[in-house]
Chains A and B, each alone.
Chain A
Amino acid sequence: MRDKPPEGFVDFALARGPALYRTAVLLTRHEQAAEDLVQIALAKAWQSWARIDGGHEAYVRRIMVNEFASGWRRRWRGELPTGDLPELPPDDSGNDVSTRQVLMAALATLPRRQRAVVVLRFFHDYTEVATAEAMGITVGTVKSQTFKALAALRVCQELREDEASDLTGCAREGMFR
């Protein structure tokens, strides 16, 4: 290990730090915790910088997501993942801003792994395979975690993939109202 940052590390952190921080905020929903998470990921990347074969940002993001999903600072703020999600307030206004606020509030209630899957799949637009690789889990787990997360968020995945199709699949699962 070295005292001086490895070559290219500072430039990377200066350039990509804000983007990593935004991902961390989505994961942690708290700015201070996000800062901690980015620092941890950067510190780990620092120590293995020379071994990273390109894709530094993806590498650091992977560290960050796994650090978060593995229960990093689980006791911090007394936060505990839970499978029992609170009921979301009805959102009949049709107001986009309200919808997004509700979604973000609901996102914060998801268990960590589901939250990480959502951020990778729907913020970074990772494929299921890429998400599985980044998190070190199987594609099947990504699918099931995505399904559970979307169900909890009352988001119907089928709507986007086949907007014109029969929605009974979603309706059967009670995935939206």
Chain B
Amino acid sequence: MRRTTDDLRDALHDAADGTANPDVESLLTGARRRVAATRRRQLGALSVATAALVVAGGVVAGTLSTNQALPQPAGPGPSSVKAAVVDHAPSSTRPSPSSAPPSECDKTSRKKDTVVLPHWVDFVQLNGTQFTAEAGPGHPIASAHMGAVVGRVRCQLSALKLSELPGPSVDGDASFLPIGTELHSILGFEPSCRVAARFEGTNRVYLAQHDVDGSSTAVPCAKAP
């Protein structure tokens, strides 16, 4: 018996014709469910991407369950961050309300049941540039070396009870510097390279950062001559 391609065609069409009609509604429902599942996966991936973006913006964050404490700085740098429950910056480091500009932090949502616990890097953003404190204790400078005020902190991120990851940082954001803290130029450096801020009794130096091969590093002009 010879089998031809026509036999094959007939066999295929017979098989197809003999197939019961599907429940089209269930096909649609299944498709909708799969789209929803894909969407959930994409949102999950987006969250990861957001976290990566926030890392670039100066923090490393993760979500914890209810009533977790927020970190507050005990000193400069991420290694010195310790946990404490606070709603606002410590009064000892806060400027008086009359001198502090309105906080932009109020726009950040706060919920009581969940909180994001970020691991902050000591940074401040000014004129679109992120400045990161020198590693470790750094090299505090004398007040005589500080120049004009070039900006002020408008939001102390570490003082927030975050219920979601903050978006990319904006000008005036700082991790530990209290709201209203003045940012000064430093003599001998362009303000786009280095700034200084008085924090916990010392004049801390912040170095402008840029991305090199995906890593944040100090711009050349920020380095010591």
Contact = CB atoms under 8 A, between A and B. Distances in A.
Interface in B1-45: 1-17, 19-22, 24, 26-28, 30-36, 38-39, 42
Top 9 nearest A-B pairs by Cβ distance? A39-B30, A43-B34, A100-B11, A42-B31, A103-B11, A22-B16, A123-B12, A17-B24, A21-B22
Given A26-B16, A156-B2, A156-B3, A39 B38 contact: no
Interface in B28-86: 28, 30-36, 38-39, 42
Contact of B3 (A5, A34, A47, A154): A154
Contacts, number: 131
Contacts of B26: 35
Interface of A: 1, 3, 5, 10, 13-14, 17-18, 21-23, 25-26, 31, 34-36, 38-40, 42-43, 46-47, 91-94, 96, 99-101, 103-104, 107, 118-119, 122-123, 125, 150, 153-157, 159-160, 163, 176-177
Interface of B: 1-17, 19-22, 24, 26-28, 30-36, 38-39, 42
A17 B22 contact: yes
Nearest to A4: B32
B7 A100 contact: yes
A119 B22 contact: no
A100 B14 contact: yes
A123 B27 contact: no
B15 A104 contact: yes
Nearest to B30: A39
A13 B6 contact: no
Contacts of A39: 27, 30-31, 33-34
A43 B7 contact: no
A111 to B, nearest CB: 17
Contacts of A25: 15-16, 19
A13 B7 contact: no
